[in-house]
A and B are shown apart, each in its own frame.
Chain A
Amino acid sequence: MKILNIIISAFRALQRNKMRSFLTMLGIIIGVAAVIAMLAIGQGAEYSVKEQIAALGTNVLMVFPGAQQQAGVRSGAGSATTLTEDDAVAISRECSAVQYISPGAMAGGQVIAGNLNWSTSIQGVGTDYLEIRQWPIEYGDFFTDQDVKAAAKVCILGKTVADNLFPDASPVDQTIRIRSVPFKVAGVLKKKGQNAMGQDQDDVILAPYTTVIRRLSHWPNLRYILVSATSLKDIATAQTQISELLRMRHKIQPYDVDDFTIRNQTDLAATATATTQVLTILLASIASVSLLVGGIGIMNIMLVSVTERTREIGIRMSIGARARDILTQFLIEALVLSLLGGITGIILGVVGSNLISSIAKWPTIITAFSIILSFGFSIAIGIFFGFYPARKAAMLNPIDALRYE
């Protein structure tokens, strides 16, 4: 029997029990759609994490005060004057692998402009900050080294802050009051969107770190130092140089632990990516359980079908069907079920993923891989769960099958 004819007769056989065929397929449809949607969500998360980390700049190092991950006797994190402005100056002067450096200070508070006010965080940074973060200015200017030295009361607004404080006018050269201290707005940053943790990166005000330390936070030490290495492959060198320099400057004995932590964006990226990958695998494996259940549904229905059609099998055998003809017939029926289900499931999964991303604003990515995987999976399920019933049909004795009532 030619394969095309078998496929046609398989379609007919399935048409005879439309409702049953549909319900059987539903298991596969849901399973495949779930796998596609879960992979899309997982891979979407992975992609956006990667992209946001890349946006941070991959050759970036962050130096934090305090030995945050060590137990034992030590002065609490940040309580010691572990990172100072002088440390930052020393790093920029002595570490050859360091290209840009931006000391970091932080303050929070209510910001007032005219009759509008807004609560946000004020980041004290250096002039290199935008280079390190690869964050352009939309309009206006950034502050200068002169402003840093003078602890000038200038600031740059993030897009969100600008939109909230100056909904109609340009904020440049306007004056805002941060915790009652008047600041002149020098510029507005380009919109950057959410970061990997879902925070709005544009809800920020940048000011010279010296200004933040002296006029706002009144905390003499740096919260962090942001450093970029001269190139991606120099990250390790930069890390070693900074570490050695700071140990020396902080007079740390060889047997003592660091009183600072250097974090590497590449490590962070790898960790975050690995986390989202685990998430993707987890989601997909949960979804594939439903695919498995769908497969068992196919086997169940095929077994029922073989029993119901025992007489038909007998007739076919009596007029010359070989065991393998019967096997192929039922196997193809199972395959048609699972493939139709698979294709419908893929369509449903793609539509569903798009719905998720448009309604819940989650990034979703549908890759060719996930479609091929689901398609392959449904073929495999059709063959795997269709084989036993098909074999059962093929092994029937023609005489018994003909007599079956």
Chain B
Amino acid sequence: MIQNLAQSLPGINGTLIHIEHLTKVYQLGEVDVHALRGVSVNVSKGEFVAIMGASGSGKSTFMNILGCLDKPTKGSYILEGIDVGKLSRDELAMIRNKKIGFVFQGFNLLSRTSALENVELPLFYGPASNKTRKEKAMAALERVGLGDRIHHYPNQLSGGQQQRVAIARSLVNDPSIILADEPTGNLDSRTSVEVMGIFQELNNNGITIILVTHEPDIAEFAKRHIVFRDGKIRADKVNSRPKIASEVIKDLPLIDDEEEAA
């Protein structure tokens, strides 16, 4: 890993992700499916990127590769100076553990496991002691405003609260990036804005966030839009005036209690 440091640029100009000519080909029987056809992009530290595109545009594949869940067929992906394409399965698992925090559409919390234990989970796969693990998990839950619900089980929490537990889990190991895959897909509009508010707050505190969404409304909260179509980046532009969640929410009518939103 260290030999790749020379290639990396973080610290100098803050580049976190350096992707060049990334292609991904799936073989489905006889047919080759080109999910990504040469994607090059850089993401710097502290950015809030929304990745958009229709289904089949390649954004999910891109997300999987970004999240080190999948490896590219060709091209290079350098994350904080580490050439991820060259890593073994176990090394990828370590990268996911240390550098990446996932937030999913379906929350993906362990059922019948308390909020606190769900948040602690990434730390189980690291060297943290029982005490620091608990402290870190508590801190992460407080950061997303769930300090009073730590012993609740996912089925006792609303959708928005569950997603906040998931965000706390993604935060707990101080990752380089948070990857959020349709994080508001299962939430109503008010809760969606609240969740985006949390992301914005985290981003304001310097955390890099990459958000996959097909909802333009949600993408408006991000500072940069990357649009995928047919396995290629079709547009990559700065959103000069992102919506501010804390302001948007004031204009939203109060329909329901958050508790019932789930």
Contacts and interface: CB of A to CB of B under 8 A. Distances in A.
Nearest to A323: B89
A320 interface: yes
B125 A318 contact: no
By size class, the interface of chain B is 20 to 34
Contacts of A1: 124-125
A322 B104 contact: no
Interface stretch (A210-218, A249-257, A308-316): A308-316
Nearest to B89: A323
A398 B64 CA distance: 10
Interface string B117-145: 00001101110001000000000000000
A311 B108 contact: yes
Q: Tell me if A's interface is mostly helix, strand, loop or mixed.
A: helix
A16 interface: yes
Contacts of B113: 12
Given A1-B124, A1-B125, A325-B125, A320 B94 contact: yes
A1 B121 CA distance: 10
Given A5-B124, A315-B108, A321-B125, A399 B96 contact: no
Given A311-B108, A315-B110, A402-B104, A320 B125 contact: yes
A2 B121 CA distance: 12
A319 interface: yes
Interface in B94-125: 94, 96-98, 102, 104, 108-110, 112-113, 121-122, 124-125
Nearest to B127: A2
Nearest to B96: A320
Interface in A34-80: none
A317 interface: yes
A324 interface: yes
Contacts of B174: none
B121 A16 contact: no
B67 interface: yes
Contact of A312 (B67, B104, B110): B110
A315 B124 CA distance: 13
Given A1-B124, A402-B104, A319 B169 contact: yes
A12 B113 CA distance: 9
B230 interface: no
Contacts of B69: 317-318, 398-399, 402
Query: Which has the most chain B C-beta neighbours within 10 Å: A5, A315, A318, A324?
Result: A318
Nearest to B99: A320
B150 interface: no
21 contacts: A1-B124, A5-B124, A5-B130, A314-B108, A315-B121, A318-B102, A319-B102, A319-B121, A319-B169, A320-B93, A320-B98, A320-B122, A320-B173, A321-B125, A322-B89, A322-B94, A323-B89, A323-B93, A325-B125, A399-B70, A402-B104
Interface of B: 64, 67, 69-70, 89-90, 93-94, 96-98, 102, 104, 108-110, 112-113, 121-122, 124-126, 130, 169, 173
